[in-house]
Structures are given as C-alpha cells and as structure tokens.
Structure 1
Amino acid sequence: MNTTVTLELKFGTADGKTRSLSVKNPKSGLTAAELQPAMASIIGLNVFEVKGVNPYAAVNSARYVERTITDVITDAK
C-alpha cells in the first residue's frame, strides 16, 4: 500500500472561475493562518497568466488530499 499527500490550493481566477495549484509532499499540519498569507504572496507575485487571465487572483480554499494505492495484482504475465 502506498499513500501520498498533496496540498491543494484553490484560487479564484480573474474571470470568476476556480484554479488549483497542487504541492506534493507538503509540510503537515499547516493552518489557515499560515496558508492564507502564503497564498496571498502567490497572488501578489502576479507572474502567472493563462490566455490573458490571471489564474491566481483570489484565495478560495486549501485542503490536504491523501491518495492510497493498494496493488491487487502486480507484474501479471
């Protein structure tokens, strides 16, 4: 069994949609008080643009996503 953890940061785009930024193997236990300023810093950089739209214009949400893979059959021949 293999489990991976990803931190998913969700932003509102300049055109009213939602865009995600995923971070693999994040520090565990991050709080909203720690993540909101970090996400605001990403927004403040204003270095991203997709088809003329800023994909990271507003803080939306953040969450940890755990994915567990359990092999049932391996190396079947």
Structure 2
Amino acid sequence: MNTNVTLELKFKTAEGKTRNLSLKNPVTDLTSEQVQPAMEAIIELDAFEVKGVNPYAGLDSARYVERVVTDIFNTEE
C-alpha cells in the first residue's frame, strides 16, 4: 500500500473558473500564512496563459489531497 500526498493550490482564472496546480510530495505541515503568500506571488507573476486566458488570476483555496494505492498484483515485481 502506498500513500501519496499532494498539495492542491486552487486558483480562479480570469474567466472566473477554477484551475488547480498540484504539487507532489509537499511539506505536510504548511499553514495558510505560508501558502497564501506563495499563491499570491504566482498570481503577481502574471506569467501564464492558456488559450488567451490567465489561469492563475485569483485565489480560491489550498488543500492537501491524500491518495492511497493498494496493489492487487504486479507482474513487474
């Protein structure tokens, strides 16, 4: 059994839709006081564009997502 943790940063696009940025293997004790300014820095860069739309135009939320994978069998072992 493997447990994977991802830090999911959720932004609002310039069109008001939600866009996720997922980071694998994050530090798992980050606070909102640490994460929010980092997200604001990404927004301030204004360095991304997808089909003419800024995907990281505003803050939405941040969360940890934990995924548990249990192999039934694996022929590569």
Q: Does 1:4 align with 2:26?
A: no
- What is the CA distance between 1:30 and its match in structure 2? 0.6
Structure 1: 4+ residue segments shifted above 3 A? none
Structure 1, unpaired ranges of 5+: none
Stretch of structure 1 that moved more, 65-74 or 54-63: 65-74
Alpha-carbon RMSD across the aligned residues, in angstroms, is 1.2
2:31 is matched with which residue?
31
- 2:55 alignment partner, SS class: coil
Letter in 1 for 2:47: V
Q: TM-score, normalised to structure 1's length?
A: 0.93
Q: Aligned partners of 2:54, 2:73: CA distance in 1, in Å?
A: 44
1:59 is matched with which residue?
59
Q: Aligned partners of 2:74, 2:14: CA distance in 1, in Å?
A: 45
Q: Does 1:41 align with 2:37?
A: no
Aligned length, in residue pairs: 76
